[in-house]
Amino acid sequence: MPFELRPYPNPTLRPDEEYLQQAWSQSVYPLAARMGLSIKLPSVSPQPYTHLAFEGFQFAKQHGKDNEYNHRVLQAFFQEDQDIGQIDVLARLAGEIGLDGEQFRESLDNRTYRAAHQQALQHAYKTGITAVPTFIIGRHVLPGVQSSQKLEEAIQSATAAGNA
């Protein structure tokens, strides 16, 4: 589900700032290494607003390609250092996964999925989501990266309570 940590007009972060450098060095890079993932702090500065990428997600979802779209956009940003705040970049990525790039571009230009994206954000806010990722398992809301043990405990608890 989409969630913007810093939606417009809140300022986005700059990759050269100490906060991001420290967070990535202490948390993101070690976690990625444990998972065998190649990932890097994108150099796009300031970091892009992601509302257009999330509106593109709504387009992809309507066309049955939401998982492929999410994977490609995250790969482009965190592995290839592409600016996912740009319509040209997003339309090219959409075309790469088999979506009609022109229809996709037109939907972003016209802000066709703006309301759907705003509705998804409102749902996240009402649910109490404040971090990415957040796992919701039954009545458990688990913000941030969780251990497999903690996730299993939440699943077992929700299953036992009948609300998994």
Of 94, 9, 101, nearest in space to 49 by CA:
9
pLDDT band at 162 (very low <50, low <70, confident <90, very high): confident
30 and 83 share a domain? Answer: yes
Phi, psi of 106 (to 5 degrees): -60, -40
28 and 75 share a domain? Answer: yes
- CATH of residue 39's domain is 3.40.30.10
Spatial CB neighbours of 16, under 8 Å, sequence gap ≥ 6: 45
42 and 94 share a domain? Answer: yes
17 and 56 share a domain? Answer: yes
101 and 23 share a domain? Answer: yes
Mean pLDDT of the chain: 94
Domain that holds residue 114: 1-127
57 and 138 share a domain? Answer: no
95 and 136 share a domain? Answer: no
The CA radius of gyration of the chain, in Å to the nearest whole number, is: 17
The pLDDT of residue 93 is: 98
The long-range contacts involving 63-72, CB below 8 angstroms and separated by at least 24 positions, are 63/99, 65/97, 65/98, 65/99, 68/97, 68/98, 69/93, 69/94, 69/97, 69/99, 72/96, 72/97
160 and 86 share a domain? Answer: no
85 and 145 share a domain? Answer: no
pTM: 0.87
The pLDDT tens digits of the residues spanning 95-145 come to 999 999 999 999 999 999 999 999 999 999 898 898 888 999 998 899 988
116 and 143 share a domain? Answer: no
The pLDDT of residue 96 is: 98
Alpha carbon distance 116, 52 (integer Å) = 12
For the chain, the domain total comes to 2
